[in-house]
Amino acid sequence: MARCSTALLLTVGAMAGLPAAAAADENTPCTAARPQPQIALAERGGGTTLYATHELKLTVSQAGEDGVAVRSVAAPGARTDAQDADETPSALWVDRPGPVTVTVRTADRDPAVGSGSAGECTHTVSRTFTITPAAITRAGKLKRPFLVDRRRRLWYRRVSYTFAVKPSGPAADLSPLTVRARTTRRARYPSARARAFSQTFGLRAFDTTEPPFRRGCNDLICPPRARNGSAKAVGVLADERSGRLRIQAIVPTAYPSRSGRRVIPTPWGVDIQVFQSGGRVARLRAAGRCTDGGQAARCTFKRVSTKP
């Protein structure tokens, strides 16, 4: 058997244009005289615990051989990816915890089957691994609007709520994060019938999605604006960088009328939810009413909730 510099080598006779007889020989099972290949899965970082959503390194070895020629890899419920230059699957991702069975077909030469090319045979080996649930992702501390004067209820002109969601730790959940937001122009929480805007953020290379483009901006919710550019409703921004999802709700702080003779107050409400692996991991609900306060914003906050 030819030596192989990589741990895995994918060779399918039928696809390589070999004769039918050669392809048939490859399907001949090897006898018990040949040692069975061994399958192993490990975390890329070297950990022994296999976590859901993580990249798991697949290796196949055989006693007495420097390299193993792998013909196929099957793992129901798992995603395989070609990491080697020869397009050989050498990594698995399993999003659901529980048992997963990996089946590998490898090529070998068995003198008991025949000599030369007639001695080609196939090992089919399976092994079941236990995938451990990933840790539940939690949101970071909520950054609230900056207070300027409590007595007069004056706030820094840019009134906003900001929080971040970042999976961390060796058992971090790396599945996509989905943000769903609703807003209303009343001083109450948006109802379930309010229009929802959603965007999914991938934390792994193959989960990457293109951001939506709405009303000339890339924000999750782009608010309508007055002639002078002031927002009339809540705007919602969501941005993912280096595995950290940052979410910001920008509160409208009144806007001038068309005539410019009076200031129109802005009652508002917002509900932002973050989902991962089928469950809600973070939520922000807030409502209030703002009027113009000169260089600062005069706002009354009715309710704020951060319970998931």
Query: DSSP characters for 75-111?
Result: -TT-EEEE-STT--EEEEE--S-EEEEEEEEEEEE-T
What are the tens digits of pLDDT across the range 102-118?
999 998 888 887 776 67
Which of 63-72, 198-207, 294-303 is predicted most confidently? Answer: 198-207
| Residue 16 structure tokens | 């390589």
Query: What confidence score (pLDDT) does residue 82 get?
Result: 61
39-44 contacts, C-beta under 8 A, 24 or more apart? 39/102, 39/104, 39/125, 39/126, 39/127, 41/92, 41/102, 41/129, 44/91
Strand order in the sheet with 160-165: 160-165, 244-250, 235-241
Note the Cα 14 to chain centre separation in Å: 37
Contacting residues for 205 by C-beta, under 8 A, at least 6 apart: none
Average pLDDT over residues 3-22: 37
Q: How far is residue 263's CA from residue 295's CA, in Å, rounded to a whole number?
A: 14
Closest CA to 249 of 166, 152, 139, 142: 142
Numbered ranges of CATH 2.60.40 in the chain: 20-131
Three-state secondary-structure class, residue 285: strand
Closest CA to 285 of 173, 191, 221: 191
What are the tens digits of pLDDT across the range 34-68?
999 999 999 988 878 999 999 999 999 998 887 88
CA atoms lying within 13 Å on the CB side of residue 74: 9
Fold type of domain 20-131: Immunoglobulin-like (2.60.40)
Three-state secondary-structure class, residue 22: helix
Query: What confidence score (pLDDT) does residue 147 get?
Result: 81
Cβ-based neighbour number of residue 197 at 10 Å: 18
